[in-house]
Chains A and B, each alone.
Chain A
Amino acid sequence: MTDLTQLTLAAALDGLEEGAFSSVELTQAFVDQISKANPSLNAYVVETPERALDMAKASDERRAKGEALALDGAPLGIKDLYCTKGVRTTACSGILGEFTPTYESTVTQNLWDAGAVMLGKLNMDEFAMGSSNETSRFGPVANPWRRSGGDNAMLTPGGSSGGSASAVAADLCLAATASDTGGSIRQPAAFTGTVGIKPTYGRASRYGMVAFASSLDQAGPIAKSVEDSAIMLEAMCSHDPKDSTSLPVETPDWRSEVGKPIKGMRIGVPKEYRLDGMPDEIETLWQQGVEWLRAQGAEIVDVSLPHTKYALPAYYIVAPAEASSNLARYDGMRYGARVPGDNLTATYEGTRAGGFGAEVQRRLMIGTYVLSSGYYDAYYLRAQKVRTKILQDFERVFEEVDALLTPATPSAAFAYGEKSDDPVAMYLNDVFTVTANLAGLPGIAVPAALDKQGLPLGLQVIGKALDEAACFRVGAAIEEAAGFTARPEAWW
Chain B
Amino acid sequence: MTERTPYLISGDTGDWEVVMGLEVHAQVASSAKLFSGASTEFGADPNCNVSLVDAAMPGMLPVINRKCVEQAVRTGLGLNAEINLFSRFDRKNYFYPDLPQGYQISQFAHPIVGEGEIEVDVEPAHGDPAYSFTVGIERLHLEQDAGKSIHDMDPDSTYVDLNRSGVALMEIVSKPHIRSPYEAASYVKKLKSIVVALGTCDGDMEKGNLRADVNVSVCKPGGYDKFRETGDFGHLGIRCEIKNMNSFRFIQQAIEYEARRQIAILEDGGSVDQETRLFDTVKGETRSMRSKEDAHDYRYFPDPDLLPLEIDQTWIDEIKADLPELPDEKRARFESEYKLSRYDAGVLSSDAEKAEFFEAVAKGRDPKLSANWVSQELFGYLNKNDLELVETPVSAAQLGGLIDLISDDTISGKIAKDVFAKMIESGDDAGVIVEREGLKQVTDTGAIEAIVDEIIAANPEQAAGVREKPKAIGWFVGQVMKASGGKANPGAVNKILREKLGA
Interface residues of A (CB under 8 A from B): 82-83, 89, 91, 96, 99, 101-103, 105, 206-211, 213-215, 241-245, 321-322, 324-325, 327-329, 331, 333-335, 344, 348, 368, 371-373, 376, 380
Contacts and interface: CB of A to CB of B under 8 A. Distances in A.
Contact of B299 (A96, A215, A325, A334): A325
A47 B306 CA distance: 35
Given A325-B102, A329-B101, 5 more contacts: A244-B64, A244-B306, A244-B307, A331-B97, A372-B299
Contact of B59 (A209, A328, A372, A380): A209
Nearest to A333: B97
The 10 A-B pairs at the shortest CB distance, nearest first, are namely A328-B102, A214-B304, A371-B299, A215-B304, A329-B56, A208-B59, A210-B58, A83-B59, A373-B297, A214-B305
Q: Which bucket holds chain B's interface residue count?
A: 20 to 34
- A-side interface mostly: loop
A99 B305 CA distance: 23
Contacts of A214: 304-305
A334 B100 contact: yes
B58 A91 contact: yes
A371 B108 CA distance: 14
Given A331-B102, A333-B100, A325 B59 contact: no
Nearest to A381: B301
Nearest to A329: B56
B58 A206 contact: no
Contact of B301 (A91, A325, A335, A344): A325
A137 B498 CA distance: 107
Given A241-B63, A325-B91, A348-B95, A334 B55 contact: yes
Interface in B94-126: 95, 97, 100-103
Contacts of A99: 58
Contacts of B102: 325, 327-329, 331
B93 interface: yes
B61 interface: yes
Interface string B46-65: 00000010011111111110
Which interface residue of A210, A244, A322, A376 has the most chain B CB atoms within 10 A?
A244
A11 to B, nearest CB: 33
B160 interface: yes
B109 to A, nearest CB: 11
Contacts of A371: 93, 299-301
Contacts of B97: 331, 333, 344
B92 to A, nearest CB: 10
A138 to B, nearest CB: 17
A121 to B, nearest CB: 13
Contacts of B158: 344
A89 B52 CA distance: 15
B160 A333 contact: yes
Contacts of A380: 301
Given A105-B59, A207-B61, A328-B101, A322 B297 contact: no
A213 B57 CA distance: 16
A334 B99 CA distance: 11
A89 B58 CA distance: 9
A47 B136 CA distance: 63
A245 B307 contact: yes
B441 to A, nearest CB: 71
Contact of A206 (B59, B64, B301, B307): B59
Contacts of A372: 297, 299
Given A325-B102, A344-B97, A244 B59 contact: no
A244 B63 contact: yes
B63 A242 contact: yes
B310 to A, nearest CB: 12
Contacts of A329: 56, 58, 100-102
Nearest to B295: A373
Nearest to A89: B58
- B-side interface mostly: loop
B34 to A, nearest CB: 12
Contacts of B52: 102-103
A368 B299 contact: yes
Contacts of B95: 328, 331, 348
Interface string B290-309: 00000001011100111100
Contacts of A208: 59-60
A208 B52 CA distance: 10
12 contacts: A103-B57, A208-B59, A209-B59, A213-B304, A245-B304, A325-B103, A329-B100, A333-B160, A344-B158, A372-B299, A373-B299, A376-B300
Nearest to B297: A373
Nearest to B52: A103
Contacts of B62: 244
Contact of A207 (B59, B91, B307): B59
B194 to A, nearest CB: 30
Interface in B22-70: 52, 55-64
Given A244-B305, A333-B100, A206 B91 contact: no
A329 B165 CA distance: 14
Contact of B305 (A101, A245, A321): A245
Contacts of B60: 207-208
A325 B299 CA distance: 9
Contacts of B301: 321, 325, 371, 376, 380
A325 B306 contact: no
A244 B34 CA distance: 13
B19 to A, nearest CB: 26
A105 B306 CA distance: 18
Contacts of A368: 299
A348 B94 CA distance: 12
Nearest to A205: B61
Given A325-B91, A328-B101, A373-B299, A83 B307 contact: no
Contacts of B297: 372-373
Contacts of B59: 82-83, 101, 105, 206-211
Contacts of A376: 299-301
B188 to A, nearest CB: 31
A243 B160 contact: no
A134 B476 CA distance: 108
A254 B21 CA distance: 59
B427 to A, nearest CB: 51
A238 B58 CA distance: 20
A375 to B, nearest CB: 10
Which interface residue of B52, B160, B304 has the most chain A CB atoms within 10 A?
B304
A333 B97 CA distance: 7
Contacts of B64: 244
Which interface residue of B52, B100, B101, B301 has the most chain A CB atoms within 10 A?
B301
A101 B57 CA distance: 8
A410 B307 CA distance: 34
Contacts of A83: 57-59
Contacts of A373: 297, 299
A241 B62 CA distance: 10
Contact of B58 (A101, A322, A348): A101
Contacts of B101: 328-329
A403 B306 CA distance: 29
Contacts of A96: 58
Contacts of A101: 57-59
Contacts of B100: 329, 333-334
Which interface residue of B63, B300, B307 has the most chain A CB atoms within 10 A?
B63
